[in-house]
Structure 1
Amino acid sequence: MLSLKLPRLLSIHQVPKGYREQGILFGYRPPRSSAADCLLSAFQMTNETLNIWTHFVPAWYFVWTLVGRLRGPGGWEDPQARPLLAYLLTCCIYPLASSCAHTFSTMSTHARHLCYFFDYAALSMYSLGSALAYSAYIFPTEWVNSTFHRCYVPIAVFNTVISTSLSCYSRFLEVERPGLSKASRTLAFAYPYLFDSIPLFYRLYMCAAQRCTDAAILLHYKHTALAFLTCFIFASHLPERLAPGHFDYIGHSHQVFHVCGIVGTHFQLEAILTDMAERQGRLLPPSPLPSALQTLGSMGVCAVVSLAVIGRCSLALRFLTEPLPREKPHGH
C-alpha cells in the first residue's frame, strides 16, 4: 500500500552510489527532483522524511529560546550573555541547515554536495559556539585566565576551519572510497568536540574524585553520554546494518543520530545555563569575557573562511561527474 501512495520512490539499485545508504533498501526520492518536489517530499513518508523533521522542529525551539534571551534583561548589551547568545545562534543554524540539506539534496548530484557543504559548515560553527560558551561559563575555576584558557577560543576557531575543510573534502571520496570518506567526516566533527570538552572532562573527573554537588554536573553527564552515543550511531549504521530493509522509513541510524544530537544539545544548553547562573551566584572568579567585537569577530572569521571553503569545493564539483542509472519500473 505504501508503494501505491508514493509511486516515485525508488529502490537502492535505482539511485547512484552517492545517494545510497548502507542498510536502507527502499524509500529513495528521484535524484533529479525539482525544488517543489523536494518540499512536498517532506510531507510524504520517504527515508528522508524524519531526517528533515527531527531537525526542523527542534530548530524553532532554539530560535524561540534565542529570541527570548535577546528580549530579556540586557540582551546583547550584557557582556555576560554574549557567549551564550552566540552559542544559541549556532544551535539554531545547525539543525536548520541540516533540515534544508536533507530536503533539497535530491535536486541533482551537485546540489546534493552543496547542500551538505553548508550542513557541515553549520555543524562546525556549532562547535565554535560551544567553545565560546564553555570558555565563559564552564571552565574549571583553577584554569580561568591560564594560558590554555586564553588560547582556547583561537584554537577552536582554527579547529572550526579544519572541520569544515575536512568534512567538505570527504564528500569527494564518497563514491570511490566510502570507508575513508566516513572516517574523515567522523574525525572532522569528533576532534573539535573532544577539544572543546577538555575543560568539561577535567571538571567531570575532579567532580567524581571529590564527590562535588555542582547542579550542572548531572546535565553535563547526560550531554556527554549522548554525544558519544551520537558519534557511535553515526559511525556504525546501526540498526539498519543488521537488518537491511527493516528500518528504511523509521528507526534507521541517521534518524536516531539526529534525535540523540538534538537531545544532547538541549542538555548542553541546560548545563551551560545552570553553570552560568551558579558561577554568577557564587561570585566565582570571572572568566575573561570576550567583547562584542571579539565574539562576532571569531564567528565572522569562521563564517567567511567556511564560505570560502564551500566556494572552493563547489568549483571542484565541475570535475566530479557521476552518471545517473536508469530508473527501473516498480515490480521488476
Structure 2
Amino acid sequence: MDIFTGPKLRDFKNSPPHLQFNKYVLTGYRPISTYRDCLQSLFYLHNEFGNIYTHGIPFICFLLVLPLSIPWAEIEWWIGVVHYLACLSPTICSVFYHLFMNHEGGAPIYDTLLCFDMFGVCLVNTLGALPIVHITLLCYPSSRLVATLAYLLLSGYGVHCAVSAQSNVHRLQSFAWQAIFRFFLFMLRLTGAGRGSPASLRLYLTMDTLALLGGLVNISRLPERFSPGRFDYWFNSHQIMHIMVVLSIVYLHWGTLEDLTWLKGYHCPGE
C-alpha cells in the first residue's frame, strides 16, 4: 500500500456492521486496518478524512494559541486550566475516534473509541461551564458551591447517558440537563441576579445555539439524506457538525475571556 494512495476503499454494504451508521454515505470506507494503517490514512482521501481534519487542525490551533490569550497571572489558576482542557477535549477525542474507528479490533475497539469521543463532548460541557457558574454566582459563595456540585452531578449523569446511548438522538439528549442548567445561569445574568460581563452573555448563547444546531444537523443526516453518495467525502452532516462544534468552542473562549476581563475590575458589594 502506498502511503499517499492508500488501500482499495469499500462501499457501505461491504463495510463491517459497526461502521454502517450512516446509510447515506455510500463509498469511501477504509478497510479493517492495523494501528499503523489507521495512521497512514491521514495521508489519503477517504470518507473519514474530513472528519479527522475538521477537528485535528482546530485542536493544534487551540493547543498552541489558547494559552497565549488566557490572562494566567490575573486569574485563579484553576479557571485557566479547566477552560483550556474544555476547549481541547472534544477535538482530540474526536480525532482518535475517527482515525482508529476501523481498527482490526472490531466492534469492541469501535465502542471504546465512541465512548472516548462522547467523553470529550462531556468534558467541554462540564469543564467549560465551571467558570460560568463561578462568575455568575461570584457574590453568593454558598449558592455557588451548591450550584457547582449540582452541575457536576448532572454532568456525571450526562456522561453515563452519553456513553451508554444507542443512537445519535439519545446522545444529543444526554446533554439536555446541562444545557438547561446553563440557560438558568444565563437568565440570572439577564435579570441582574447573576454576575458577569454584559458582553459575554451573547457569546455564551451563541455557543449553545451552535452546539445544538450542530447536533440537530448530525441526527438529521442533512444534506446527504437528500442525495445519497454525493457528500461521501465532503460537506456531510458530521463534518458540518464538527465545524459548528469548533465555532461553539471559539465562542466559549471569547465569552470566558470577556468574563475574565470583567472579573479583574469587579468587587462584590461589601468587599
Fold similarity call, TM over 0.5: yes
Q: Does 1:192 align with 2:178?
A: yes
1:46-82 CA distance string (max 9 Å, x none): 1111111111111122222454368x653xxx66342
The Cα of 1:191 is off from its aligned counterpart by 2.9
3-state DSSP of counterpart to 2:28: strand
Q: Matches of 1:6 and 1:259 in 2, distance apart?
A: 26
CA contact (8 A) 1:10 1:29 kept: yes
* Residue number in structure 2 paired with 1:242: 226
Structure 1 position 247, deviation (Å)? 0.5
For 1:285 and 1:87, how far apart are their aligned partners in 2? 27
What's the counterpart of residue 117 of structure 2?
119
User: Which residue type is aligned with residue 95 of structure 2?
Assistant: S
Structure 2 Cα separation of the partners of residues 260 and 201 of structure 1 = 24
SS in 2 for 1:28: coil
The letter of the residue matching 2:123 is M
* 1:46-195 equivalent positions in 2, closer than 5 A: 46-68=46-68, 73-74=72-73, 80-107=76-103, 108-137=106-135, 139=136, 144-145=139-140, 148-170=143-165, 173=166, 181-195=167-181
Amino acid at match of 1:151: V
Provide the C-alpha distance between the structure 2 equivalents of 1:277 and 1:265, rounded to a whole number of angstroms: 18
SS for the counterpart of 2:18 is helix
Determine which structure has more spread, i.e. the larger CA radius of gyration.
1
| Per-residue deviation, residues 183-230 of structure 1 (Å, max 9, x unmatched) | 3211113332332332124435x48xxxxx923243234323312211
Q: How many residues align?
A: 259
- 2:154 and 2:44 map into 1 onto residues whose CA distance is 38
With 99-108 and 83-92 compared, the bigger mean Cα shift is at 83-92
| Local SS of the residue matching 2:24 | coil
Alpha-carbon distance change, 136 to 65 in structure 1, aligned in 2, over 3 angstroms:
farther
2:212 is matched with which residue: 211, 228, 231? 228
Contact preservation (8 Å) 1:240, 1:247: yes
TM-score, length of structure 1 as denominator length? 0.70
Taking the TM superposition and a 5 Å limit, the aligned residue runs for 1:260-271 are 260-271=244-255
Partner Cα separation in structure 2 for residue 154 and residue 22 of structure 1: 41
RMSD: 2.5
Distance in structure 2 (CA, Å) of the matches to 1:24 and 1:277? 45
Q: Give ranges in structure 2 of 5+ residues lacking alignment.
A: none
C-alpha spacing 1:24/1:201, structure 2 compared with 1 (3 Å): farther
Q: Which amino acid aligns with 1:98?
A: S
List alignment gaps of at least 5 residues for structure 1. 174-180, 208-212, 287-332
1:52 maps to amino acid: I
Which shows bigger deviation, 183-192 or 216-225? 216-225
* Higher RCO (C-alpha 8 Å, min separation 6): 1
- Check 1:24–1:191 CA distance in 2 against 1; reply closer, same or farther (3 A cut): farther
Q: How far apart are the structure 2 equivalents of 1:131 and 1:183? A: 23
In the other structure, the counterpart of 1:256 is: 240
Say if 1:94 and 1:126, in contact at 8 Å, map to a contact too.
Answer: yes
